Amino acid sequence: MNHARSSFLIWVMLTICGCASVPVRYYTLLPLAASPNATPANACCDVEIRSLRIPSEVNRPELVTRQSNEQVAVLSNDLWIAPLRDEVRNALLNDIRENLRQAKLGLPADIKRYVVFIDVSRFESVPANYALIQAQWRVAALAAPKSEAQLCTTTAQVNIAGGVSGIVLGYQQAISKVASGITGKLLSAADGSDYQCPNQ
């Protein structure tokens, strides 16, 4: 009995040590030196993301990847540093505001203010294959956020390298593509020109 108990205790200790040796890694969708909450001083307009939805199956601390048509993997030791919804929102806002700053559109007498509504229907990746974000979005004036507005869809798929870092980098690039479409709408709204949804 004592031998069996000792063997069990040794197994438990080895199991605990083995689990403790697996490192936990944290990831973010924000690039270095990002400032998602800072409106550029020379931008044509101010923007906020009023609403953002992401699929419930990936809205969790762990990264989730696809393994096949019917199977997914939850990466227990690879975690988002913040709730995924916040990560996506901040990354999009950072890219949009940086795009507006670089556009250098002539500044209006009064900075125009807009709100963006985003519904992410797909947020998925296959390791060493692709990362994909599909989102419906619309832009409205802050003064009339419930007004009828053009609804656009962007599907951004990026080829990625292997490893979790490759997945996260792919998501960052896909977010930049979504942000580019939203920026185009904001710029056209600011100067009063017509806008066609990007063919993406």
Residue from 190, 179, 195 nearest 105 by CA: 190
**Per-residue pLDDT at 18:** 52
**Per-residue pLDDT at 164:** 95
Given a contact cutoff of 8 angstroms between Cβ atoms, the answer to whether 82 and 14 are in contact is no
**Per-residue pLDDT at 7:** 53
Over residues 141-154, mean pLDDT: 79
Full set of structural domains in the chain with CATH: 25-191 (3.40.50.10610)
Token pair listed for 166: 């490759």
Weakest-pLDDT range from 58-72, 105-119, 142-156: 105-119
**Per-residue pLDDT at 106:** 53
Helix%, strand%, coil% for the chain, nearest 5: 35, 30, 35
Which has more pLDDT, 190 or 147?
190
Token pair listed for 40: 């550029």
Q: What is the pLDDT of residues 49-75, one digit of tens each?
A: 999 999 999 999 999 999 988 899 999
**Per-residue pLDDT at 8:** 47
How many Cβ atoms are within 10 Å of 120's Cβ, its own excluded?
22
Is the model's pLDDT at 104 over the cut of 80?
A: no
pTM equals 0.82
Is the model's pLDDT at 97 over the cut of 70?
A: yes
The mean pLDDT of the chain is 84
Over residues 146-171, mean pLDDT: 90
Q: What is the pLDDT of residues 14-51, one digit of tens each?
A: 555 555 578 999 999 998 875 555 555 556 788 999 99
| Residues shown for the chain | 200
Which pLDDT band holds residue 150 (cuts at 50, 70, 90)?
confident
Which has more pLDDT, 141 or 8?
141
How many Cβ atoms are within 10 Å of 89's Cβ, its own excluded?
21
Is the model's pLDDT at 117 over the cut of 50?
A: yes
Is the model's pLDDT at 191 over the cut of 80?
A: no
First-to-last C-alpha distance (Å) of the chain: 68
